[in-house]
Amino acid sequence: MENEPAILIPKIDPVKNDIDIDQKQKVKIKPKYIVITSVVLLIILIFSIPILLFANKAKKVYSDLSPIFSASEFGDIEKIKSDFNITKNSITELKSSYGLISWMKFVPFAGTYVSDLGHGINASTKVLEAGEITFVTLDPFLLELGFKKDDGTESAEKSAQERIDFVVNAIPEILPKTDEITKKFEEAEAELSKIDPDKYPENYKGINIREKLKTILRLFEQVSLYVSESKPLLESTPYLLGMETDRNYLVLFQNDKELRPTGGFLTAYSVMAVSKAKFEPVSSDDIYNLDAKYKPSFPAPDAIVDLIKGPYVLSQNIRLRDINYSPDYKVAMDLFSREAEKVGMKGIDGIIAVDTGLLVNLLNALGEIGVPGFGNYSTKIEPKCNCPQVIYELESFADIEGPIIWDPITGKIILSPKNMDNRKKIIGPLMNSILANAFAQPKEKIPGLLDAIFKSVIEKHVLFYMFDMKAQMAVEGFGIAGRIDDYQGDYLHINDSNLGGRKSNLYVKQEVEQEISVIKDGMIEKSVTITYQNPEKYDGWLNSVLPNWVRVYVPQGSKLIAVEGLEKQYDTVTELNKTVFSGYFKLRPEGVSKVTFKYLLPFKKASGDYRMLIQKQPGTDAPLYTVRSSKTEEEFLLNTDKELRIKI
């Protein structure tokens, strides 16, 4: 075939190793190879150019988002809105670029990942739409609450109380928009539910792709839950704030430095009147004075009798001040409210428990405040206790002169610090000063104040119990009622009680390690090791030997194999639809105690992720948790309830 194209190449003399230019040799290439080569090049261009364009857009999105996640602040709404617009533009550009490669979702193997990109972009678009609705809805109120700078038309004379009243009265206008926002999040969640993280590599170039994707999906689920549960809470807000009918709340002050099941020892209480979002303390008193009127009528848990002794030597019936022994706040308050009513505690609409975490967070936002007749209070560290000054002063009022001693025969107090009654005397003035300072803040301080309150509520330093069923369901749905949750999967809640160790929880640090193993027949064995450390010296006042009653709540039907580190072990029981392992040990100042529970779970290994819910004890800070299996290890600080999905 003389018409075939030829390429001339020099002929090389194998002896001379030279190129003979004059001698040529024809190398014939068939047309089909040219066609194949051209098609391959075309395919490479068709695939690579859109992918490169999309990759460049994706890099830009990542570049735009990185500073947003690291720099946005709750109180800087202008920054948040600016970041939102940057995100919106970036996602819009990315979506446009995705159109160039979306057809690749039909390509075998690679198509499933391209399809996931589409689901992720669609979900992002829905979230952005929800964000736009939120900004439009809240924009009229942002200026009132100090989230936007005054343009000169808004009066600076309004108090924080007036601004909050304005927002609360506008809630009926906000509620209809919550349905639209919730719907957008539901649509986004539907898109993300189509993504299977397990098909992604565990590790790529040092990055745990699969786990990062799972973390993002879990975070979205949590945010989506908060959004969906916000409407019932908003609907109940007028009721809670007494907009139509005045409300009275019993406020229980829990001393988390003397840790108890619901967050701390019930040291004092106050009755708070709320009328049209205005708060006013009516009365306050020491819990011992209320307890003095109470006649104990049913047995206390064994650990309380064994460790507190004092009044329980004479009678083993529970005292009112110790009645919050259930780790479920509603269960504890059902009992407390019923018994407190017997000594005249009536006419209240709910019980709100607070601990020193709220106090510290508020003072961090407000700065130092003065309490007439009692001095100034701040969160500046006091060297005498290596703790916030306000904590030192409050403890000083009650206990600096020595401990409380009961007569073993009569059960009455025969020796107490001379300043013991100051604890109740300061509660009212301190609350008044905090409220006065909070409601008198200039608007630029309001975002920080709201942030402090939100942080305290989410981290369980504030718990709500309502007598109205609708209001109770609202606070439970939003996760601020201190409930022990029913959960399908593995579960863990560690509950500690200081039963006579002074205020040692001011110093005690806790770490928890979980080892998960699959043994024969797919059974799952767990080992939970809790390490308690008290690094401070004994002082006989705040820091002393800590008799700690520890209870570990696990899935109902779990079987205990072994326990180490307890001085006394109590019988395994079923409570709150959980199996409970318990006992006590004593932790000394500058000491370390380690307790280990080994047990079998009541279910076998199943396909898919291993799911676990860990619930934080109210009143605690953020203990360090480590969860290990043969395939994964995760470490985190437990500052609120956390759900895990891991491989075993």
Closest CA to 239 of 467, 478, 447, 483: 467
DSSP helix/strand/coil, 555 = strand
Per mean pLDDT, which range of 127-141, 210-224, 450-464 is the poorest? 210-224
CA 298 – CA 546 distance, rounded (Å): 26
- Domain ranges for the chain: 107-238, 247-477, 490-646
Tens digits of residue pLDDT in 80-134: 677 777 777 777 877 777 777 777 777 777 778 888 888 888 888 888 888 888 7
The DSSP bridge pattern shows strands 624-628 and 568-575 to be unpaired
Residue 214 confidence class, pLDDT cut points 50, 70, 90: confident
Predicted pLDDT of residue 54: 47
Q: Domain 490-646 belongs to what architecture?
A: Sandwich (2.60)
User: Which residue is associated with the tokens 């560290």?
Assistant: 381
User: Which residue is associated with the tokens 């409570």?
Assistant: 575
The answer to whether 68 touches 44, Cβ cutoff 8 Å, is no
Range from 184-193, 206-215, 279-288, 325-334 that averages highest in pLDDT: 325-334
DSSP helix/strand/coil, 98 = helix
Residue 142 confidence class, pLDDT cut points 50, 70, 90: low
Percent of the chain with pLDDT over 90: 44
Long-range contacts of 603-607 (CB under 8 A, 24+ apart): 603/524, 603/555, 604/521, 604/522, 604/523, 604/524, 605/518, 605/522, 605/523, 605/524, 605/648
Closest CA to 218 of 621, 577, 614: 614
- Residue 131, judged by CB atoms within 10 A of its CB (0-12, 13-18, 19+), counts as middle
- DSSP structural state of residue 417: -
Angle at the Cα of 239 from the Cα atoms of 486 and 268, rounded to 5 degrees:
70
- DSSP structural state of residue 551: E
Predicted pLDDT of residue 556: 98
DSSP-H helix ranges across 200-328: 209-240, 287-291, 302-308
Instruction: Report whether pLDDT(441) > 90.
Output: no
H-helix or E-strand spanning residue 553: strand 546-555
Tens digits of residue pLDDT in 585-633: 999 999 999 999 999 999 999 887 789 999 999 999 999 999 999 888 8
DSSP helix/strand/coil, 638 = coil
CA 519 – CA 133 distance, rounded (Å): 51
DSSP helix/strand/coil, 637 = strand
Pick the CATH number of 247-477 from 1.20.120, 1.10.3470, 1.25.40, 3.40.630: 3.40.630
The DSSP bridge pattern shows strands 490-498 and 610-615 to be parallel
Instruction: Report whether pLDDT(234) > 80.
Output: yes
H-helix or E-strand spanning residue 178: helix 171-192
Instruction: Count the helices and strands in the chain (H runs, E runs).
Output: 14, 25
Strand partners for 7: 27
Residues 6 or more apart whose CB falls under 8 angstroms from that of 369 comprise 363, 376, 377, 378, 433, 434, 437
Prediction pTM value: 0.79
Per mean pLDDT, which range of 148-152, 208-212, 344-348, 448-452 is the poorest? 148-152
Return the half-sphere exposure (C-beta side, CA atoms, 13 A cut-off) of residue 260: 25
Tens digits of residue pLDDT in 552-580: 999 999 999 999 999 999 999 999 999 99
